[in-house]
Amino acid sequence: MKVGFIGLGNMGSAIARSLIKTGETVTVYNRTRSRAEPFASLGARIAETPSEAASDVEVLITMLADDAAVEAVILAPGNAIQELPAGAVHISMSTISVGLSRHLAKAHSERQQHYVAAPVFGRPDVAAAGKLFVVAAGSAEQIGRCQPLFDAIGQKTFIAGEEAHAANVIKLAGNFLLTTVIESLGEAFALGRKFGVDPHAFLDILTNSLFDAPVYRNYGSMIASDKFEPAGFKLPLGFKDNRLLLAAAEEAAVPMPLASLIHDRFVAALAQGLGESDWAAIAHVSYESAGLRKGVAK
């Protein structure tokens, strides 16, 4: 299958490598060309522009940071949507707004192209192992067409229906739930530390009893150590997802008070200079609020 791939950040690079390993014919594009150059030695062709990456392909995949980045490479004059062949499919794996996902579906349909929203759950190390969870929504026929690609990058594909934006709602809601886990762990660890409980012993008890799940083990380990770098998913990206969630909730008239609280945690974390940290660093705000620094009372 001829595949164009746009966006070679930590997640995108890992996904693109998995596709190349399966023998797909891949053309890659990244705004910073140096991120794309290593892919030439893997057998990929390097495109100079988004439109070049989209021309003469059956599938175009985007994995970009936010709405603005997706709009810039897909919808801006002279970019990918104008060169993507009729009948080709755009798979958007980015975490984007519900509104933009709707707009992309309409824009592609008007040009006799197809659109599938397929955001993923998993961090860069999971992507590198080809073990992502893919949430796909759109035409059942087009999802079936793309399934070999999803199989190459993920351990399971969940079908979310014919309306593409449903996958984006699920992705935003899932990320929201992750932030509630991070927030609750931060508060619980802050309480334990104020009473002299060893955080790693606390983590061992939690994850070998009530909370035996990877999300508690992985984020709990970071919070117990109060170590949030290097970042697997940078805090500003998590903040962006929180804002997209709140915008969708406002549109649908769904009160989400916990999401609003976590919004303020992100603001506080950024104010404390944690912009280069993993999004789990919102837990550090609980430590600061409790008068703790690196587990020691100030």
Catalytic residues, which ones? Answer: 171
Tokens at 5, concatenated:
């791939």
For residue 155, the SS3 value is: strand
What is the rounded CA–CA span in Å between residue 190 and residue 113? Answer: 51
Q: Based on the number of CB atoms within 10 Å of its own CB, is 90 exposed (0-12), middle (13-18) or buried (19 or more)?
A: buried
Tokens at 89, concatenated:
């499919």
Task: Give 194-257 as a 3 state SS string.
Answer: HCCCCHHHHHHHHHCCCCCCHHHHHHHHHHHHCCCCCCCCEHHHHHHHHHHHHHHHHHHCCCCH
CA atoms within 13 A on the CB side of 137: 21
What is the rounded CA–CA span in Å between residue 190 and residue 76? Answer: 47
